[in-house]
Chain A
């Protein structure tokens, strides 16, 4: 069964800290791995997309890595800011079925 898991479910950090969000997936036959941001009551904002042949992607203060062999992806946020407070979702796009399978999300709170 294709499953995506995110730990922790919630995380609170002081402003300025670097932090890592974790995502694990059960089936290594993914086409790509995506990270999204969701603000309360809002839709999804795409942050980073890593193809299965890639190891990492960077955008500004965000860096996402992908290790297919271990079934893990991480989202690294440098110098966190209160504006980074949101729920972060990872999702694997699987070759079989071409479906996006989402993790449960990590609710991040960055305290000023």
Chain B
């Protein structure tokens, strides 16, 4: 149990286009979902936290108008990279938890690799 999927697993797009990445909790309801970004040979950096039905909370330095997060249901959150540029190329990983309580386990998705040409 507690499986999280991401789609697509990898995507290549042209500079200036928008890309949508989906994060789904397959066998549980995820009140809270997290989006992370990982550059090559670097650690995961939290981008934003989203709670179902409310606006996402973005970390300092993350542009909310560029990285649009929607968490419209208890099993799906989406991250849209708008007007993507080569510097947005990265590995994007989501995680999901049953609630926002600190003791809830975060279950991680397999990640989505984005390459912007």
Give the B-binding residues of A (Cβ under 8 A). 4, 31, 36, 41-44, 46, 49, 89, 91, 93, 95, 98-105
Contacts and interface: CB of A to CB of B under 8 A. Distances in A.
Interface stretch (B38-46, B73-81, B82-90): B38-46
Contacts of B44: 44, 89, 91, 100, 102
A98 B97 CA distance: 12
Nearest to B103: A31
Given A42-B110, A44-B108, A31 B46 contact: no
Contact of A103 (B43, B46, B105): B43
B110 A43 contact: yes
Query: Contact size class for B?
Result: 20 to 34
Nearest to A41: B113
Contact of A43 (B102, B105, B111): B111
Given A43-B108, A43-B111, A102 B43 contact: yes
B70 interface: no
Contacts of A99: 46, 49
Given A43-B111, A101-B46, 6 more contacts: A43-B109, A44-B44, A46-B108, A95-B102, A100-B34, A102-B45
A43 B93 contact: yes
Given A43-B109, A44-B93, A104 B103 contact: no
Contact of B100 (A31, A41, A44, A98): A98
B25 interface: no
Interface string B95-117: 00000101101101111010000
